[in-house]
Amino acid sequence: MYTVHSDKRKSGISLIGDLPWGTHFCQFYQTKQDLLDILVPYFRAGLENNEFCVWVTSEPLSVEDAKRALKKAVPHFEKYAKKGQMQLVPSTRCHNTKGQGPSGKSIRSEIRAELDSEGQRNSAILTMLDKAVLGGFEGLRLACSAFPAKEGGKVFACGADAIVGHNALAVFAYPRDRFDAISLMEVVKDHRFALVRNAGRWEVIESSEARTVKDALKRSEEKLRSLFSNMSEGFAYHRIVLDEKGKPCDYVFLEVNESFGRLTGFEGKDIIGKKVTEALPGIEKDPADLIGKYGKVAMTGEPIQFESYSGPLNKWFSISAFSPHKGYFAVTFSDITERKCAEQELVRAKEEWERTFDSVPDLIAILDNQHRIVRVNKAMAERLGHDAEECVGMPCYRYVHGLSSPPGCCPHSVTMKDGCQHIAELHEDRLGGDFLVSTTPLFDERGQLIGSVHVARDITERKKAEEQLKMTMTDLERSNKELEQFAYISSHDLQEPLRTISNYVQLIGRRYKNRLDSDADEFIDYIVGGAVHMQTLLNDLLTYSRVGSGQKSFSLTDLNSVLERAVANLKDAIDRNNAEINWTGLPSVHADGTRMAQLFQNLVSNAVKFRGSDLPRVQITAEHKDKEWVVRVSDNGIGIDPKYFDRIFLIFKRLHSRGEYEGSGIGLAICKKIVETHGGRIWVESGPGKGTTFYFTIPEKR
């Protein structure tokens, strides 16, 4: 334990020997010599042991007398005097002080005034203690006159209180003549002991009361000392420093324990006697206002307890401060940085959780197993039109659904029964929409089901879109059916009258052969030609409508054999044109073989039909790319102007007159439909006279 007042001090008086700090005793004197007998060796010991010595002389001893005696008794006295270690102060009650005159606002005059004033003596002693500490001395050694008894009153040792517990020793000098035996004992009781001259010899009188108190004090002091020394909390004992207005402005470290050093990083021996403003510069400006807080404790005696962050040490401390004596305070403190950080982390985590909880757009309510709302997030509170706090404790079925019991479809009820997560789609008019509700069970640490997290996602828009989609799908299905029906009707019912017209016009032509002129025969030809073309169109339309409808029979299909079949079907046209059809390494794909054959047939047939002057050459290859097959059918034909690329895939759109090339203009429309039915795309690359390449894709897997 680093301390400045634990060590024994030499009293300088052989009769007494060593004395601990905080001791005050008294002397009864009758003559100058009595005072000198005791106080000269007393102060010699003080000066030689680096103590700040203050001697307030008592009548009939003058300052000069005292100085002369000291000079004589103390070797190198001038040296001490020069350092200001020895202060000789005449008592105001001395008659011979007048001659000295006022010496300005010197320490001496201050001390004198205060030490001699009953009310101010305590604080004057503390001021001197500060000066002793700040002057680099180990403590204060004081001698002063006791106050004479007031009229009918009691003589008392004013200022003794300020000595106890401090690095101070004091002698109070009482004029022997004023005391009878009883009052002498009274005086002795106020001090640790008294020095009295009896038959030419100095004797020590110790009251039994004082002894007992001393022993008890010593024991308790030792106990306390060991306690403070060994405790894990930091302990420090300070004296407060006041500014000229009496306001606390600093404090001095007087004593610290081992833990103090460990917790603050300050070595006890370095900090003892230091002002806190030196040890921790800037502390006076710290908003924690420790100096102010401790000042209040030291001046009022009211203990405080608080937690404080020390910026310079980057630590949190829990601090208790109390004042054993006015102007002094003791502090015990412990490092709570870890706890504080954990607390802050907890707060931060809680805030983060709350922020997250509230930022989720889904409506979240935590429900207990009685359907009561434990907590709702912002979205939920807003939708309910209440503050989040208002909802707490309300049964959700009443608050949310306006019912007297949970609704039948309530997934929370189910979760409370089976402890599993449940998801349901609900419509709630009061919340204005459709919701996808999930309830996830919550268990306490013992595994008891205590509630659920009820998350409602607003799916009103999605629902609407679904309804819309369903309606569109129904419409589409109906229109598809109608189209198929229409196509079928086209093949039957539209063709029948067409055939009748055609047949009978021909019959007329035949029956009335020689009775009609050549114009009539030509007209009849046109009617028949029109009817035949109409029939082709109707059949093509039927074929087109059939692609993508009805049963799809997808299976692993070898495109090589499919192409072979298509080429076989086109044998006549290929032979007629001396066309060369080549293909290599076509894959097997998941497809409808018949439709694939039709696709190839249409493409190859086009390639041959729209040939240039060279012999037609058609090349079919396939390439695997990004999970699909790209099939390429290229020819050396007349090519297609890119501006028609969009048009060629439309039904009945032709680029050439029937006189140039036959066909209804449905082939590529059917190709497109077949490819799309298989989940692929079809496109063309070409230019007039550059040949044409058709590409189509077939997904690897469907």
Partner 1 sequence: MNNVPGDPIEVLLVEDNPADVRLMKESLRDSKVRNNLHVVNDGEAAMSFLRREGKYSGVPQPDLIMLDLNLPKKDGREVLQEIKTDPALKHIPVVVVTTSSADEDIIKSYCLHANCFVTKPVDLDQFIKVVQAIEDFWFTIVKLPREGCDRK
Q: Are the beta carbons of 336 and 307 closer than 8 angstroms?
A: yes
DSSP string, 361-428: SSEEEEEETTSBEEEE-HHHHHHHTS-HHHHTTSBHHHHTT--SS--TT-HHHHHHHH-S-EEEEEEE
Closer CB to partner 1, residue 119 or residue 550?
550
Min CB(600)–partner 1 separation in Å: 19
Closer CB to partner 1, residue 479 or residue 500?
500
Min CB(597)–partner 1 separation in Å: 14
Q: Are the beta carbons of 114 and 54 closer than 8 angstroms?
A: no
Closer CB to partner 1, residue 506 or residue 619?
506
Min CB(439)–partner 1 separation in Å: 53
d(CA 558, CA 546): 23
Burial code of 233-267, b = ≥16 C-beta within 10 A, e = fewer? bbbbbbbbbbeeeeebbbbbbbbbbbbbbebbebe
CA distances from 78 to 108, 401, 684 (A): 17, 99, 120
Closer CB to partner 1, residue 344 or residue 500?
500
Closer CB to partner 1, residue 542 or residue 603?
542
Min CB(532)–partner 1 separation in Å: 5
**What's the gap between Cα 295 and its chain centre?**
37
Closer CB to partner 1, residue 104 or residue 550?
550
Min CB(502)–partner 1 separation in Å: 5
The residue among 82, 10, 4, 85 whose CA lies nearest residue 45 is: 10
d(CA 236, CA 263): 12
Min CB(503)–partner 1 separation in Å: 5
CA distances from 217 to 72, 209, 257, 321 (A): 38, 12, 20, 22
Closer CB to partner 1, residue 185 or residue 494?
494
Interface positions with partner 1 (CB under 8 A): 488, 491-493, 495-496, 498-500, 502-504, 506-507, 510, 528, 531-532, 535, 539, 542
Min CB(542)–partner 1 separation in Å: 7
3-state secondary structure 676-689: HHCCCCEEEEECCC
Min CB(515)–partner 1 separation in Å: 18
Beta bridge partners of 249: none
Closer CB to partner 1, residue 353 or residue 488?
488
Closer CB to partner 1, residue 217 or residue 516?
516
Min CB(601)–partner 1 separation in Å: 16
Closer CB to partner 1, residue 254 or residue 505?
505
The residue among 177, 181, 196, 165 whose CA lies nearest residue 26 is: 196
Helices 559-569 & 593-609 angle (0-180, nearest 10): 50
**Angle (CA) 217 52 1, round 5°:** 45
Q: Are the beta carbons of 433 and 427 closer than 8 angstroms?
A: yes
Min CB(452)–partner 1 separation in Å: 57
d(CA 205, CA 208): 9
